[in-house]
Amino acid sequence: MTDCHAPLHPEARRGLELIRRGEYFEAHEALENAWRDEPGQVRNLYRGILQMAVSYLHITRANYAGAVEMHRRAGRWLAGWPALCRGIEVDTLRRDFDAAIAALTALGPAENMHQFDRRLLKPVRWHGRAGKYPQALY
């Protein structure tokens, strides 16, 4: 993953900010713009994060199957990245996302989704300019 030290795409940054605010549909749109614009491999990281946003959107809409399926798909794109890429704390992102889906699957199908603790839908931790100075988005 040779392009982890480059700056974060502006639309990716906007997408991360939207995730922090719980605006998952809009985050997906911004991250999709970054994914389409990005010529390098990091586009796949953006793709994984946008699918995470879609999974979170499905959770907020009580779509159990959609949330679990998007987690499965996102895992493909989020695997193999270093702990920090373009300032994104990828290990933390994977751990938080996996924990949210584990809690969801422990509840079971949609009729139990009202019990899901939405505090588990964590924002993506990101540090400005590929980690050169801290600016975590919480």
Using the predicted structure, report yes or no on whether residue 40 has a pLDDT greater than 50.
yes
- Per DSSP, the three-state class of 88 is strand
Mean pLDDT of 10-35: 97
Closest CA to 60 of 16, 21, 4, 13: 21
Using the predicted structure, report yes or no on whether residue 52 has a pLDDT greater than 60.
yes
Q: How far apart are CA 4 and CA 6, in angstroms?
A: 6
What pLDDT, on a 0 to 100 scale, did the predictor assign at position 2?
63
- More confident: 135 or 53: 53
Predicted model pTM: 0.90
Angle at 132 between CA 77 and CA 76, to 5 degrees: 5
